[in-house]
């Protein structure tokens, strides 16, 4: 007969206990804006020291200013300007990390026959190879202490394809496989690895797509949100970055210690079709 008792690390009182990452170090890529910024602030609010990584120095400065204004978060955000195409530097930056959030991304909307090969290469480097190197850099410390959380910000496009997004879809599908492999290898060491899969989020990355989407689909820009972004969503709105950050925080909590190798889908019903 299987015991119904909770694991030693999860007492009954922990079920409703707020997330406490005091003493933990979290690394968030793409932290200067959008989902990354929301994740950095959320994890800092839980007590973590957050290594905020981005190539946008001005955006990182705004993040630190916002954290400092919050009071309790002052000093918890440690910014680092880093281009993730420097893969050796990315791997080195992850050393000593307890929580790794692979979030950085970029997008170009073009038909396959017009998609620039150099951009395809850059997208795969930043969104798939860099996460591999970051995980590789973080795992020795996680394994040594017997605890770690890897959260890969994937997308509904990690589960479904869309036309004109060959590089992005390829990278996100690859990230799903990488995340599952990390979950299988990390489980004996107390390390979980999961994906969070939002639909279209209200971020600069999405806003910058509007003109390209209009051109690719042959429609006016003011119809892109309703006819492209929300076409397959049962919930007819964009998701907010803070909602994604809450999903990331949940995967770091004691209550999620049994959740690994899976994808937490926040798609407004897109994949229910």
List residues with catalytic annotation: 168
3-state secondary structure of 64: helix
Alpha carbon of residue 118 to chain centroid: 24
Written as six digits, the tokens of 39 are 């994740």
As a whole number of Å, the end-to-end CA separation of the chain is 39
For residue 265, list its beta bridge partners: 197
Q: Which of 272, 261, 268, 242 is nearest to 40 (CA)?
A: 242
Q: Which of 24, 242, 3, 263 is nearest to 159 (CA)?
A: 263
DSSP labels, 188-238 = GGTEEEEEEEESSBSSHHHHTTHHHHHHHHTS-GGGHIIIIITTT-SS-SP
For 222, phi and psi rounded to 5 degrees? -75, -5
Cβ partners under 8 Å of residue 236, min gap 6: 226, 230, 268
């Amino acid at each position: 007969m299987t015991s119904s008792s909770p694991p030693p690390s999860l007492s009954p009182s922990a079920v409703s206990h707020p997330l406490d990452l005091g003493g933990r170090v979290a690394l968030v890529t793409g932290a200067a804006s959008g989902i990354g910024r929301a994740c950095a602030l959320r994890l800092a609010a839980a007590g973590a020291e957050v290594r905020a990584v981005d190539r946008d120095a001005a955006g990182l400065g705004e993040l630190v200013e916002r954290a400092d204004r919050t009071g309790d978060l002052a000093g918890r955000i440690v910014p680092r300007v880093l281009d993730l195409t420097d893969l050796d530097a990315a791997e080195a930056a992850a050393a000593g990390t307890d929580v790794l959030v692979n979030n950085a991304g970029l997008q170009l909307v073009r038909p396959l026959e017009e998609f620039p090969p150099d951009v395809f290469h850059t997208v795969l480097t930043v969104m798939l190879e860099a996460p591999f190197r970051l995980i590789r850099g973080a795992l020795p410390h996680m394994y040594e202490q017997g605890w770690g959380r890897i959260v890969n910000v994937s997308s509904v496009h990690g589960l479904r394809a869309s036309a004109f997004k060959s590089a992005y879809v390829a990278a996100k599908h690859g990230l799903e496989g990488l995340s599952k492999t990390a979950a299988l290898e990390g489980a004996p060491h107390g390390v979980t690895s999961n994906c969070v899969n939002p639909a279209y989020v209200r971020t600069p990355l999405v806003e910058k797509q509007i003109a390209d989407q209009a051109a690719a689909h042959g429609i006016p820009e003011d119809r892109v949100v309703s006819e492209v972004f929300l076409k397959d969503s049962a919930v007819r709105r964009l998701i907010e970055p803070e909602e994604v950050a809450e999903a990331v925080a949940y995967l770091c909590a004691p209550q999620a210690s049994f959740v690994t190798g899976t994808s937490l889908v926040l798609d407004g019903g897109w994949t229910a079709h």
